[in-house]
Amino acid sequence: MATPDDDEVKKGVSRREVIASTGVGMLSASLLSTVPAVASGALPERSAHSLEVPNGALLPWKKTAGAKVFHLVAEEVEHEFMPGLKAKCWGYNGRVHGPVIEAVEGDRVRIYVTNKLPAATTVHWHGAIVPNGMDGVGGLTQKSILPGETYRYEFELKQHGTLMYHSHHDEMTQMAMGLTGLFVIHPRAPQSRVDRDFALLLHEWKVVPGTERPDPNEMTDFNLLTMNGKAFPGTAPLVIERGQKVRIRLGNLSAMDHHPIHIHGHRFWVTQTDGGVIPQSGQWPESTVLVPTGSTRTIEFVADNDGDWPFHCHMTHHVMNQMGHGIPNMMGVEPHGLDAKAMPLLPGYMTMGQAGMGEMAHMQNMPVPPNSVSIVMAKGKHDFITMGGMFTVIKVRQGLKSYEDPGWYENPKGTLATYATEAELQRDGIKVG
Ligand SMILES: [Cu+2]
């Protein structure tokens, strides 16, 4: 039975099909961007079901025999975390993480899972209220899916919210290798409408510099922290027209860490967990939300402050890339260019400079081991940005023509921190010694 909700979702798919028919590749779901084609001169229309997945994709579906039919293929994927850093991970449909499954409360979904991995696997629908035999736990609720086999999962969606899916067979290995994704179920009768609806999955990895696969045995020392599989500066900015009501769905399938995700220039309300909607009377304003591992948190806010605003994990080691971890403390010691000499010989070697990491910006072009990236550093408008990892930028603007990256924010006169002049110091009685 068609409902307005169904129609809206189908519209989303047909829009992607339009993109596909113009040359992106009809069946190659993994290549299809979730950002719709932008008509010149007008921002694309949004509905309650226009989920946006920065750096990611939605899983296509078709309606057959009374169900929405999806097909996940678990396989090895060469994944780029950021320019200069790739690894052989495990993902779904050619992607890390898997494409987002998007459906509507009340839908019957039939999800085929094909295993093209060299190991057995299963898929668990995290947070979903399903019959026990559809829960996807290898050995306990089903036989594991052997390499080459395809299994069918089928169930009715009895709830709405931001859920996830992931391997539940040899979880330590398979989730560390990337077999994870988001599962978003829209309400059949939405109570709260937003202009923009983003989905971000948080993850952590250990990729030893110079190696080509994540290390699934790591317990504590993760050196790549990602949003939708990308470490900054590989993360796409979230481009928002001023005044839009924004929802960001955050899921965390990191092995060992919670992530306190912090916004600048705004505050938000935490509106949902993977258990469902929080009643309005139970919501409170925050600028940081802790997303525990194995859970989702959904935040909503009005983007009412123009600028380029960081949106990032507040654990300082989670906004560093590969080489910011597990190194000797050289604070106060002058390394005399030791790094430049040692790094090509000793993968992963880096001393900490006499005044910390920020000074390493000038080493951008320093030789590093193959397939590794310097600790931090992306060029910003004013200087190097001394952050990497679980970090992206929310760009709020007025008068956007499209949701493409609008470039750096132009600060209105008198609203930029600048070098204090002698006259200013004297006027205000500030003595700097
Ligand atoms: Cu974190």
Over residues 212-231, the pLDDT tens digits come to 899 999 988 899 999 999 99
Residue 242 within a domain = yes
DSSP state of 341: H
Q: What percent of the chain has pLDDT over 90?
A: 68
Distance 283 CA to ligand 1 centre (A): 23
> Looking at the predicted structure, is the pLDDT value of residue 358 above 70?
no
What lies within 8 Å, CB to CB, of 289 at 6+ separation is 250, 260, 261, 268, 270, 297, 299
Distance 219 CA to ligand 1 centre (A): 15
Distance 55 CA to ligand 1 centre (A): 19
Please report which residue ranges of 144-283 form alpha helices under DSSP H: 171-176
Distance 414 CA to ligand 1 centre (A): 34
Residue 285 within a domain = yes
Q: Distance (Å, rounded) from C-alpha 53 to C-alpha 184?
A: 11
Between 362 and 21, name the one with better pLDDT: 362
Distance 48 CA to ligand 1 centre (A): 29
Lowest-pLDDT choice from 114-118, 150-154, 187-191: 187-191
Distance 272 CA to ligand 1 centre (A): 20
Q: What is the pLDDT of residues 31-73, one digit of tens each?
A: 333 333 333 455 655 444 589 999 999 999 999 999 999 999 9
Nearest to 248 by CA among 186, 301, 205: 301
DSSP state of 212: S
Residue 306 within a domain = yes
Sign (positive/negative) of CA torsion 393, 382, 403, 302?
A: positive
Q: What is the pLDDT of residues 1-42, one digit of tens each?
A: 333 344 333 333 333 332 333 333 333 333 333 333 333 455
Distance 313 CA to ligand 1 centre (A): 5
Residue 354 within a domain = no
Q: What is the pLDDT of residue 353?
A: 52
**Residues in a beta bridge with 197:** 51, 247
What lies within 8 Å, CB to CB, of 74 at 6+ separation is 90, 91, 92, 113, 114, 115, 116, 117, 121, 123, 145, 167, 179
Number of other residues whose CB lies within 10 A of the CB of residue 260 = 14
Distance 334 CA to ligand 1 centre (A): 30
Distance 320 CA to ligand 1 centre (A): 10
Q: Distance (Å, rounded) from C-alpha 254 to C-alpha 274?
A: 15
Distance 292 CA to ligand 1 centre (A): 10
Distance 225 CA to ligand 1 centre (A): 7
Distance 85 CA to ligand 1 centre (A): 20
Residue 289 within a domain = yes
DSSP state letters, 87-147: EEEEEETTBSSPPBEEEETT-EEEEEEEE-SSS-B--EEET----GGGS--BTTTB--B-T
Run of H or E residues at 427: helix 422-427
C-alpha dihedral, 142 to 145 to 149 to 152, nearest 10°: 40
CATH number of the domain bearing residue 183 = 2.60.40.420
Residue 83 within a domain = yes
Distance 259 CA to ligand 1 centre (A): 4
Q: Does the pTM of the predicted model rise above 0.85?
A: no
Distance 101 CA to ligand 1 centre (A): 24
**Residues in a beta bridge with 300:** 247, 269
Distance 390 CA to ligand 1 centre (A): 7
Distance 205 CA to ligand 1 centre (A): 12
CB 383 within 8 A of CB 219: no
Average pLDDT over residues 367-393: 80
Distance 297 CA to ligand 1 centre (A): 14
Average pLDDT over residues 85-101: 97
Q: What is the pLDDT of residue 343?
A: 62
User: Phi/psi at 316 (nearest 5 deg)?
Assistant: -65, -25
Q: What is the pLDDT of residue 214?
A: 94
Q: Distance (Å, rounded) from C-alpha 8 to C-alpha 131?
A: 28
User: Phi/psi at 276 (nearest 5 deg)?
Assistant: 135, -165
- Tokens representing 351 are 């001393």
Residue 59 within a domain = yes
Distance 411 CA to ligand 1 centre (A): 29
Q: What is the domain count for the chain?
A: 1
Number of other residues whose CB lies within 10 A of the CB of residue 279 = 8
DSSP state of 230: B
Task: Residue 309: give the domain boundaries.
Answer: 46-313
Q: What is the pLDDT of residue 321?
A: 82
Distance 312 CA to ligand 1 centre (A): 8
Residue 207 within a domain = yes
Q: What is the pLDDT of residues 262-277, one digit of tens each?
A: 999 999 999 999 999 9
Distance 296 CA to ligand 1 centre (A): 14
Distance 160 CA to ligand 1 centre (A): 26
CB 108 within 8 A of CB 67: yes
Q: Distance (Å, rounded) from C-alpha 120 to C-alpha 105?
A: 31
Distance 407 CA to ligand 1 centre (A): 26
Distance 372 CA to ligand 1 centre (A): 20
What lies within 8 Å, CB to CB, of 312 at 6+ separation is 232, 261, 262, 318, 319, 387, 389, 390, 391, 392
Q: What is the pLDDT of residue 341?
A: 67
Distance 186 CA to ligand 1 centre (A): 27
Between 349 and 369, name the one with better pLDDT: 369
